Chain A
Amino acid sequence: GAGVSQSPSNKVTEKGKDVELRCDPISGHTALYWYRQSLGQGLEFLIYFQGNSAPDKSGLPSDRFSAERTGGSVSTLTIQRTQQEDSAVYLCASSPRQYLTDTQYFGPGTRLTVL
């Protein structure tokens, strides 16, 4: 079956521009997660959704970052006024439920480069 998909696969933007990153989870998965992978910080957890709700947004790096999920499916991570330190690979994962024991299935990521 189809896995987690993310678009675009690569995004180059200029400093100060806004970007939107999209994640399509595996069909039927109620939990969705966003992570960021960068050389300096490694893999960082950003935010998760149970259904359309994100109970805890404290993992987002700054108030320039926001995320939403609609219809219990597609999620969008938005970065406003991008900075060079936002350059990273943004990974999305989904799991059947929001349980610790559920495997998180990862997408291929979106590589964001801020010039």
Chain B
Amino acid sequence: AQSVTQPDIHITVSEGASLELRCNYSYGATPYLFWYVQSPGQGLQLLLKYFSGDTLVQGIKGFEAEFKRSQSSFNLRKPSVHWSDAAEYFCAVAEHSGGGADGLTFGKGTHLIIQP
């Protein structure tokens, strides 16, 4: 069965500093990978996704992620964080059954804290 690991439960970053959130997956075939953000009291919002092609993908709000097959990783990055980036971040992989797409398998999430 596929799985997603986000090794960091909490990360604290100073405003204006760079950010990298780690994500590792376990999946036999070519994975379809996603990063979602959940702000307090809000639903999940898609930041970016990777299916194929260029391994560096750009998303909304200045985020990017790089797919590295050799490391089974899909880390999320941002050059300079803003206080509004404080939220919970989830990495996910799409699950594919014999009959078609199923749901997403999510990591446990990384809680991002921004220090002034």
Binding site for B on A (CB under 8 A): 3-4, 31, 33, 35, 42-48, 50, 55-56, 59, 91, 93, 98-109
Task: Identify which of A43, A100, A102, A103 contacts B106 (C-beta below 8 A).
Answer: A43
B32 pairs with A100, CB closer than 8 A: yes
B90 pairs with A56, CB closer than 8 A: no
Binding site for A on B (CB under 8 A): 32, 36, 41-46, 49, 51, 90, 92, 94-97, 99-109
Task: Identify which of B90, B96, B105 contacts A100 (C-beta below 8 A).
Answer: B96
Residues of A within 8 A of B106 (CB): 42-44
Residue of B nearest to A33 (CB): B103
A99 pairs with B101, CB closer than 8 A: yes
A45 pairs with B43, CB closer than 8 A: no
A55 pairs with B100, CB closer than 8 A: yes
A4 pairs with B43, CB closer than 8 A: yes
15 A-B contacts (beta carbon < 8 Å): A35-B103, A35-B104, A43-B92, A44-B106, A45-B95, A46-B103, A48-B102, A56-B99, A59-B103, A100-B51, A103-B46, A106-B43, A106-B45, A108-B42, A108-B43
Provide the bound-state CA to CA distance between A91 and B32, in Å. 21
B43 pairs with A101, CB closer than 8 A: no
Query: Nearest chain B CB to A54's CB is how many angstroms away?
Result: 11
Query: Nearest chain B CB to A18's CB is how many angstroms away?
Result: 24
Residue of A nearest to B105 (CB): A45
Provide the bound-state CA to CA distance between A39 and B90, in Å. 14
Task: Identify which of A3, A47, A56, A107 contacts B97 (C-beta below 8 A).
Answer: A56
Query: Nearest chain A CB to B30's CB is how many angstroms away?
Result: 10
B49 pairs with A103, CB closer than 8 A: yes
Provide the bound-state CA to CA distance between A91 and B96, in Å. 20
Q: Which 8 A-B pairs have the closest CB atoms?
A: A45-B103, A43-B106, A106-B44, A106-B43, A100-B94, A108-B43, A42-B108, A100-B101
Beyond A42-B107, A45-B95, A98-B101, 15 additional pairs, beta carbon < 8 A? A33-B103, A43-B92, A44-B106, A45-B105, A50-B100, A55-B97, A56-B99, A56-B102, A100-B32, A100-B101, A101-B49, A103-B46, A104-B46, A104-B104, A106-B43
